[in-house]
Amino acid sequence: MSGMKMIDKNAAILMSNTPHLAKKILRKEIRGLIAQQMAAEGNWENIREKESASVVKKLVSSERFLNAKRLSIYISNEQEICTDDVVRKALREGKEVFIPRFKKGAERMEMLRLESETEFDSLESTLWGIRQHPAHLSPTAFDETHAKSNVTPKLSQTPKTFITEPLDLVVMPGLAFTTSGKRLGHGRGFYDRFLNDYAQKYETAPKTIGLALKVQLVDDLPMESKDRMVDLLIHA
């Protein structure tokens, strides 16, 4: 489907449905479009790698990333901008990095501290193919001494989460975005709940950045009262 046809169809969906129903329809359309491109192009990995490199370069040179000392970064799946290099750069620069953990049946995600590249490399794919801390562990972190050595890392007994202090930045995934910052998530509401809970706790909100592949850009998206826009969208 061409970009213009997608825009025209998108507009028709928005005009003829409630925001909630329009989002359900658009998710199906956009997932189908992504799957179609993945199958048709034959070189999806190269496209994703090239677009990810462009987006990541813009992100890590942005003032918001450079100034952030504590930030949350999503761990990407194969249909999103790859964030591995963002995570590694942040860790190497001494930033405090927090990544989401999802649990089956839970309505809210947790943000757990990622201590090192060693720990990052040890993460395994779990729900929805996303690498994250193991579900059976309480919020924990790998022991720093072992993380800096060649010894297999041990789990620290000291729980570490972002809860004690605010975050400077949240790098968010999404199924689709507009260039103005509207975001369509995957339909589970994790980030909307997280940001709304965060705002209640800290009486403010962290800066947010969305990352998008070209295929994830749309002309407009439906919004409901609980939905959060991103402050900045960086796209291919």
d(CA 201, CA 163): 9
SS3 150: coil
Residue 183, annotated as binding a ligand? yes
Q: What are the phi and psi torsion angles at 8 (to 5°)?
A: -60, -45
| Residue 179 · residue 140 · CB < 8 Å | no
CA-CA distances (angstroms) from residue 171 to 2, 120, 168, 203?
Answer: 28, 17, 10, 20
Residue 127, annotated as binding a ligand? no
Residue 94, annotated as binding a ligand? no
Residue 190, annotated as binding a ligand? yes
Residue 74, annotated as binding a ligand? no
Residue 198, annotated as binding a ligand? no
Residue 102, annotated as binding a ligand? no
Residue 202, annotated as binding a ligand? no
Residue list for the binding site: 75, 80, 183-191
Going by the annotation, the residues of the binding site for ATP are 183-191
Q: Which residues are annotated as a binding site for substrate?
A: 75, 80
